[in-house]
């Protein structure tokens, strides 16, 4: 079948709902350590709270891929899953920031927060993965780099909005402090508004995108439907065994990259509260101000990522773009360790954005171009393991590594820089196909 080129706006519509999903994801990333520190968590145990999100992604996303490959409804193949995941995420986003408001003891509030976090990340994963699959389903190989760059742009635009919400709410006068053990209203309102935007964006994609019916999909991807019907559906383990080499080599790069960013999400609040505000007291006004500034720095990272995403297609070789992006990000991570002025951190996080842009677009371009259309959802779900496993490993080792580097949370940025350099060196193992 002749693969018709999609217009820019058709590719935009496919990924637009990702904008809303990423607002939810960025609110989680920027505020989880802040929420649990406020509830009473020890800094050396903070990384353990970050095991749940990737663990749920590791379990959920392969299942979403596997079953959506076999699904066909009036709404399509992938859209029913993203719609269901979004509805659950909206409900949980209204619950999580209120973990300290139900009169529970510290331990009870922690358990409530953990359960809410587990459910939130599960639902976000259910909603997020279908957007990556939609690009693989509906976009030809010669346009996938552009389509994933558009998705990267929308992802970072959503991150930008989610990250700045608490800062803006504090600026307009909403309370940025709260009684001990409770989350400030700035964070609560950010989650509420983010939930409202999420459902609007998902509804937009649901009504604007029409997925290919099974016959057209098979023709588009060159799938022999008769042969497929006669064959027994392979298990996920069988698919992993026969995965293209690109799956594993890009996965190695992913391991180093996602471990690095897990440490950024976990320790930025404590790091800049210490280095720029001179406090480690989570109940202090300075710590909460640092928390808002974390959101601003993550927003700066998103801006840097959006700008860098425009440069990635300009590279003649996508692997070169990958290496350069990760090395620029490593410089950004390392510089945070030496900076004690909140405004100078802007330059650091702009550089970190280069690595993030590459991580969102390049791995999926390399992988989907090495796959046939058959089982693409399952493979993308399994590939999510290269995102989740490094985060689980990094979270499990975070407390030990923090002690090893002296106990100062800002030292973890040097660790992250080393990890990105290792990721850049690993790119040489990736072969384009």
Contact 54, 389 (CB under 8 A): yes
User: Predicted confidence band at 402 (pLDDT cuts at 50, 70, 90)?
Assistant: very high
Calculate mean pLDDT across residues 16-36.
84
pLDDT of residue 89 exceeding 60, the answer is yes
Calculate mean pLDDT across residues 219-233.
64
pLDDT digits over 135-151, tens only?
A: 888 888 788 878 888 88
- What does each C-alpha distance from 356 to 154, 254, 264, 333 come to in angstroms? 13, 11, 12, 12
Residue ranges covered by each domain of the chain: 8-429
Contact 66, 189 (CB under 8 A): no
Q: For the chain, what percentages of helix, strand and coil (3-state, to nearest 5) are there?
A: 80, 0, 20
pLDDT of residue 304 exceeding 60, the answer is yes
User: Predicted confidence band at 46 (pLDDT cuts at 50, 70, 90)?
Assistant: low
3-state secondary structure of 410: helix
pLDDT of residue 274 exceeding 80, the answer is yes
Q: How many helices (H) and strands (E) does the chain have?
A: 17, 0
**Range 264-273 burial, b when 16+ CB lie within 10 A, else e:** bbbbbbbbbb
The pLDDT value given to residue 230: 47
User: Predicted confidence band at 285 (pLDDT cuts at 50, 70, 90)?
Assistant: confident
pLDDT of residue 321 exceeding 90, the answer is yes
**Cα–Cα nearest to 380, from 179, 215, 240, 204:** 240
Superfamily of domain 8-429: MFS general substrate transporter like domains (1.20.1250.20)
- What does each C-alpha distance from 65 to 30, 71, 152, 370, 374 come to in angstroms? 27, 10, 20, 17, 11
The pLDDT value given to residue 330: 98
pLDDT of residue 47 exceeding 50, the answer is yes
pLDDT of residue 413 exceeding 90, the answer is yes
Task: Choose between 98 and 362: higher pLDDT.
Answer: 362
Alpha helix stretches (DSSP H) within 281-384? 285-311, 318-338, 345-368, 376-383
Q: How far apart are CA 326 and CA 207, in angstroms?
A: 37
The pLDDT value given to residue 228: 56
* Average pLDDT value for the chain: 85
């Amino acid at each position: 079948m002749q693969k018709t080129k999609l217009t820019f706006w058709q590719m935009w519509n496919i990924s637009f709902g990702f904008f809303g999903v990423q607002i939810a994801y960025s609110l989680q990333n920027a505020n989880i350590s802040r929420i649990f520190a406020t509830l009473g968590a020890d800094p050396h145990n903070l990384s353990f709270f970050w095991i749940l999100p990737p663990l749920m992604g590791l379990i959920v996303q392969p299942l979403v891929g596997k079953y959506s490959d076999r699904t066909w409804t009036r709404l399509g193949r992938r859209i029913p899953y993203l719609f269901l995941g979004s509805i659950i995420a909206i409900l949980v986003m209204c619950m999580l920031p209120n973990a300290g408001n139900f009169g529970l003891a510290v331990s009870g509030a922690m358990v409530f927060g953990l359960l809410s976090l587990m459910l939130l990340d599960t639902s976000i994963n259910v909603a997020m993965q279908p957007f990556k699959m939609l690009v693989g389903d509906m976009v030809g190989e010669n346009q996938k780099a552009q389509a994933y760059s558009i998705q990267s742009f929308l992802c970072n635009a959503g991150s930008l909005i989610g990250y700045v919400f608490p800062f803006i709410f504090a600026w307009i006068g909403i309370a940025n402090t709260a009684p001990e053990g409770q989350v400030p209203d700035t964070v609560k309102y950010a989650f509420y508004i983010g939930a409202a935007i999420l459902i609007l964006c998902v509804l937009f994609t649901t009504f604007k995108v029409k997925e290919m019916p099974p016959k057209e999909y098979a023709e588009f991807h060159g799938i022999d439907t008769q042969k497929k019907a006669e064959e027994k559906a392979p298990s996920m383990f069988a698919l992993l065994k026969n995965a293209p080499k690109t799956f594993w080599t890009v996965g190695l790069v992913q391991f180093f990259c996602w471990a690095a960013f897990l440490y950024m999400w976990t320790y930025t609040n404590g790091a800049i509260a210490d280095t720029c505000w001179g406090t480690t007291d989570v109940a202090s006004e300075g710590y909460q101000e640092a928390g808002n500034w974390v959101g601003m720095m993550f927003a700066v990272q998103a801006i840097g990522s959006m700008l860098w995403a425009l440069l990635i297609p300009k590279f003649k070789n996508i692997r070169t773009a990958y290496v350069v992006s990760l090395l620029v990000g490593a410089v950004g991570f390392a510089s945070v360790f030496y900076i004690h002025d909140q405004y100078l951190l802007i330059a650091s996080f702009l550089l970190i954005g280069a690595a993030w842009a590459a991580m969102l677009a390049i791995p999926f371009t390399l992988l989907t171009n090495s796959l046939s259309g058959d089982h693409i959802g399952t493979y993308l779900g399994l590939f999510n393991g290269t995102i989740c496993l490094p985060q689980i490993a990094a979270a499990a080792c975070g407390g030990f590594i923090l002690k090893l580097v002296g106990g100062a949370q800002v030292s973890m940025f040097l660790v992250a820089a080393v990890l990105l350099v290792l990721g850049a060196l690993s790119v040489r193992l990736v072969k384009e196909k």
